[in-house]
A and B are shown apart, each in its own frame.
Chain A
Amino acid sequence: MAKKPPMNGVKLPTNSAQGNGMQLKSVTKQFTDPAGRCIDVFNNLSIEFEPNQLHVVMGASGCGKSTLGYLLAGFTQPDSGEVSLNCVPVQGPGPDRLFVFQETALWPWMTVTENIIFGPQSRGEASVVELKSRAAQMLVKFGLADFSDNYPDQLSGGMKRRAEIAQALINRPKIMILDEPFRGLDVMTREILQEYYLALFEETRQTTIFITSELEEALFLADKIYFMGGSPTQIQAVIDIKLPRPRNFDVTLGQEYLAYKQKAMDLLFRDAREQPGKFKG
């Protein structure tokens, strides 16, 4: 049952006192396809993700959006070029850039609370008691207080996603990277979670890179939308979404929103029509 989780006055732990941005400079990434050919995913790609903004990366499935996410998170290294956080090169995965996966990554053998405290606990940041109380507070905010001792398999899809966002945020990351986090959820849950995440973002203004293939989702959430496409994949266009904040779903009925949507659709379909053979769908 999709129910809107309460946004109680519990303050989120945040690291956004100082703005954090990420940069890609001349990044090239190749991979070998099953036939053994070397394919360029990115060739000389440069992007600047400014601090305190919700950046949305959009593109068709298979264009390399997840690879971009992995590069930012440090799960994979570029073949050449540099990925950096505040102009300091990224060496590998770290708690300053946390990633929310498409498929739920919650550890099934731990309860929701244990999942959430695992990061800080393993780094020895605070006592388990202290961490459990912090987690309890977050769970109240995320509407999961009744499920603190349940295992992930006992939660619905939307609840798991909320738990994962809480699991990431308790580590106070500088950057949040989300890879199609609401994919596969039903429309109601999806919309509620979008509004919910937006409210979280607007509270903390934590630099977020949000990957999606849903245009409406992109338009609703973004400060900037980066359209990825082409072969090798590049940023083909960037749209600044200047819809006012705080936003709720009423904004999707306004003229401004529709104008942005029109512009975006033109961009997307133009690319598909001009190069039908190369369209990666």
Chain B
Amino acid sequence: MFVQEYIHSTHYWFSWVTSFQRVLYGFLFAQLLGIPLGLFFGYSEKFRHLFFPVFELLRPIPPLAWVPMSILFWPTNESSIIFITFIGAFFVIVINVYEGVRNIKREHLLLALSMGVPKRWIFLRIMLPSVIPSIAVGMTLGIAITWDVVIAAEMIASDSGLGRLTWEGYVSSTPEVLVIGMISIGLAGFISTKAVYKIEKHMMPWRKNLR
């Protein structure tokens, strides 16, 4: 049967690997750069006054609008796609971390201050853990956006990946491939979300009723 053959083909599995790689790199870079930036925005008023306006101007630009710029700017096709996925998750995580810092419960801080807790301890053991739930939210939203973006970016600007595969199914009038593509994308997104959820649970062992 065509479907069975197709699913066992290298082309198909390679598309999975390619898309996943792009999602992974984009998502990871977004967390690595976005979390510290969000913390900076939260803690330093000076930094916020300098850079937040620029950030807020860039944030509404949809990730796909970055595609032409990304292709011009980045040396390889792969890096330009990863950049787009990065953009998708990046703004989400920064905003969530920033809000997380802003919403730290005052009492948690005051209690630590009155116990004579040294500043480094306050930062590492009180402020950072307070922000972890916001990071988790940012990651959950970010992973979904990353997949949206990577699929669309592949359709426009790449010759590999699950998005491209689905698109090929369309242009070659092979609806089976189209459907396989869409189901695969859904599955991939589902697996990614589950993975993030597991990480979340690990990050926040104190949360009861985590879904």
Contact = CB atoms under 8 A, between A and B. Distances in A.
B129 A109 contact: yes
B111 A105 contact: yes
Interface centre among B110, B115, B116, B132 (most CB of A within 10 A): B115
Given A97-B114, A109-B206, A122-B121, 10 more contacts: A93-B110, A94-B116, A95-B116, A107-B108, A107-B126, A118-B117, A119-B115, A122-B112, A123-B115, A123-B116
Interface majority SS (helix, strand, loop, mixed), chain A? loop
Interface string A102-143: 011101111000000011001100000000000000000000
Interface of B: 105, 107-108, 110-118, 121, 125-126, 129-130, 132, 204-208
B132 A93 contact: no
Given A107-B126, A154-B208, A122 B113 contact: no
Interface residues of A, number: 27
Interface majority SS (helix, strand, loop, mixed), chain B? helix
A108 B206 contact: yes
B110 A75 contact: yes
When A and B form their complex, which 10 residue pairs have the shortest distance between CB atoms, in order from nearest?
A: A119-B115, A93-B114, A105-B107, A151-B206, A109-B129, A122-B117, A93-B113, A105-B111, A95-B116, A122-B121
Contacts of A74: 114
Contacts of A123: 115-118
A112 B159 CA distance: 55
Contacts of B205: 151
Interface of A: 73-75, 92-95, 97-99, 101, 103-105, 107-110, 118-119, 122-123, 151-154, 171
B188 to A, nearest CB: 32
B125 A118 contact: yes
Contacts of B204: 109
B56 to A, nearest CB: 26
B116 A119 contact: yes
Given A105-B108, A107-B108, A118-B125, A98 B208 contact: no
A85 to B, nearest CB: 13
A99 B111 contact: yes
A99 B106 CA distance: 13
A92 B110 CA distance: 11
Given A107-B126, A109-B132, A118-B125, A73 B114 contact: yes
